[in-house]
Structure 1
Amino acid sequence: MAEAQTTQKRTSWPRFAKSNGKKACTVEGCKRPYRAKNYCYFHYKQWRQGELPHSRYRTCSKPECRVKTFKAGLCEKHHGEAYKKDAA
């Protein structure tokens, strides 16, 4: 006779800490165990999205601009502004 199995469909992957929670996140003031790249789950997510100072990609060299570089160390917007003068 078949038994009814209770299975739950997983909606997301579990958040496991590495090293059994012995090492902490490297962000100042954060005491969560690290997950990857020495960041906890939440700071790793911010790192992937480019919201932390050491971002995933090279970013624009203009102050306060966190966009991925396009050419010559500048994002597409700032590159266009800087080199538009040369084309005219």
Structure 2
Amino acid sequence: MAEAQTTKLTHWPRTAKGNGKKACTVEGCKRPYRAKSYCFFHFKKWRQGELPHSRYRTCSKAECRVKTFKGGMCEKHYGETYKKEAAA
């Protein structure tokens, strides 16, 4: 019985969409886009929340980039804000 040789992929191949005609929307990047109008590199940064337009809604407090918990704030800032009101 002949055994078929198959190679198992360890990861998905990074393929560009749009036949490589569309570029990443990040200024200065000329890589072809992959998803959400970003190239594979910037798409990964977007998923990790490192780009200004993040994947999740972020806290409304200045310089806080944590995912929102309640009322447009992260858990830390929400607790600080409403703990003061409850104690008064």
Q: What is the TM-score when the length of structure 2 is the normalising length? A: 0.90
Structure 1 segments (4+ residues) deviating >3 Å: none
Residue equivalent to 2:49: 50
Q: How high is the sequence identity, in percent, across the aligned residues?
A: 79
RMSD, matched Cα? 1.3
TM superposition shift of 1:71: 1.3
Alpha-carbon distance between aligned partners in 2 of 1:23 and 1:42, rounded to the nearest angstrom: 15
Q: Where do 5+ consecutive residues of structure 1 fail to align?
A: none
TM superposition shift of 1:23: 0.7
Counterpart mapping for 1:64-79 below 5 A: 64-79=63-78
Does 4-13 or 75-84 show the bigger shift? 4-13
Q: Where do 5+ consecutive residues of structure 2 fail to align?
A: none
Residues paired across the two proteins, number: 87
Is 1:33 the counterpart of 2:47 in the alignment?
Answer: no
Alpha-carbon distance between aligned partners in 1 of 2:34 and 2:79, rounded to the nearest angstrom: 38
Partner AA of 1:82 in structure 2: T
Residue equivalent to 1:59: 58
Alpha-carbon distance between aligned partners in 1 of 2:82 and 2:39, rounded to the nearest angstrom: 40
Partner AA of 1:34 in structure 2: Y
Residue equivalent to 1:11: 10
TM superposition shift of 1:73: 1.0
Alpha-carbon distance between aligned partners in 2 of 1:85 and 1:63, rounded to the nearest angstrom: 19
Q: What is the TM-score when the length of structure 1 is the normalising length? A: 0.90
Alpha-carbon distance between aligned partners in 1 of 2:62 and 2:28, rounded to the nearest angstrom: 25
TM superposition shift of 1:6: 3.5
Is 1:87 the counterpart of 2:78 in the alignment?
Answer: no
